[in-house]
Structure 1
Amino acid sequence: MTALPNYRPKQLSLGPLEREILQIIWELEEASVKDVHDRILADPDRELAYASVTTVLKRLTEKGWLSCDKRGRIFLWRPLVSQSQAQAIEAYEKLQGFLAVGNPDIVAAFADSLDTASVEQLKAIAQRIQAARRAREEQ
């Protein structure tokens, strides 16, 4: 189970190109502008200026998704959260948004409409929550 990380990016919303480039950085673990640009241009149907990749990498850094280090004459970007941590943050934010509705009748109506597979999934989640809480108490 991926725990919710202590660190969170400053801005969670990402555009399609930002998401694509972040995915590339996660796959490469560390990348230069050229690495990312080459990966995108590996698709013969794609065109994207080198400068556009640089701009998006800088934006992702400003939003708190990436860090940038200079090694010699090359800038290298690394993710500040893993892909699984990002998924945990996204799920947490969505759940908080859903619960912020604050109307128990709406939440209950939603829960009542779930199919059997979803109910089983919720039961499994509840068991994991209980196990995680027990483990924390034992420490």
Structure 2
Amino acid sequence: MLKRLSESELDVMLVVWRAQEALDTGEVARRLQKGWKIQAVQVVLGRLVKKGYLSCEKIGRLNYYTPLVAEADYRAAETETFVEKLYRNSPKSLIAALVQSQPLSKEDFEEIRALLDRGEES
């Protein structure tokens, strides 16, 4: 089971996931575009290594980080937890809440229908 990420940890992971290459601490800080001090970025990266989300390889004087957990795997785990906790494990209730909370365009409805139809086929 994956450990939940804090908002700051998720911000950093999104940068690393989208990079598709190992990043050093300074590059993570630049790509975050949040104005964080380098020390704050180092702390978050260290927490992510301890949680098992990132690997760290020291090359020269720099630490390079690569993901150990895929973004899709994290999203799937978070979605499952969300549906379990808030909708008592009922995807139907989640979809009903989404539809009731905001109107869907015809295109949105057609895309959702296509997804549901593919799910029935599996």
**Same fold flag (TM > 0.5):** yes
Give the total of aligned pairs: 114
- Cα 1:62–1:119, aligned 2, differ >3 Å: closer, same or farther? same
The whole-number CA distance in structure 1 between the counterparts of 2:50 and 2:118 is 35
- In structure 1, the partner of 2:23 is 31
Normalised by the length of structure 1, the TM-score is 0.60
The whole-number CA distance in structure 2 between the counterparts of 1:20 and 1:69 is 21
Normalised by the length of structure 2, the TM-score is 0.67
Deviation track 1:4-34 (CA, whole Å, cap 9, x = no partner) reads xxxx53x11322x222211111122321111
List gaps (5 residues or longer) in structure 1. 1-7, 134-139
- Cα 1:93–1:128, aligned 2, differ >3 Å: closer, same or farther? farther
> What is the CA RMSD across the aligned residues, in angstroms?
3.2
Deviation track 1:67-113 (CA, whole Å, cap 9, x = no partner) reads 222334332111122333322222222122234378xxxx4xx47x7
- Cα 1:63–1:90, aligned 2, differ >3 Å: closer, same or farther? same
Are the counterparts in 1 of residues 16 and 28 from structure 2 also a CA contact under 8 Å?
Answer: yes
Counterpart residue type for residue 48 of structure 1: W
What is the percentage of aligned positions where both structures have the same residue? 23
The whole-number CA distance in structure 1 between the counterparts of 2:69 and 2:38 is 25
- In structure 2, the partner of 1:129 is 119
Q: Looking at both structures, which has the greater relative contact order when contacts are Cα pairs under 8 Å and sequence separation is at least 6?
A: 1
List gaps (5 residues or longer) in structure 2. none
Are the counterparts in 1 of residues 56 and 63 from structure 2 also a CA contact under 8 Å?
Answer: yes
- In structure 1, the partner of 2:67 is 79
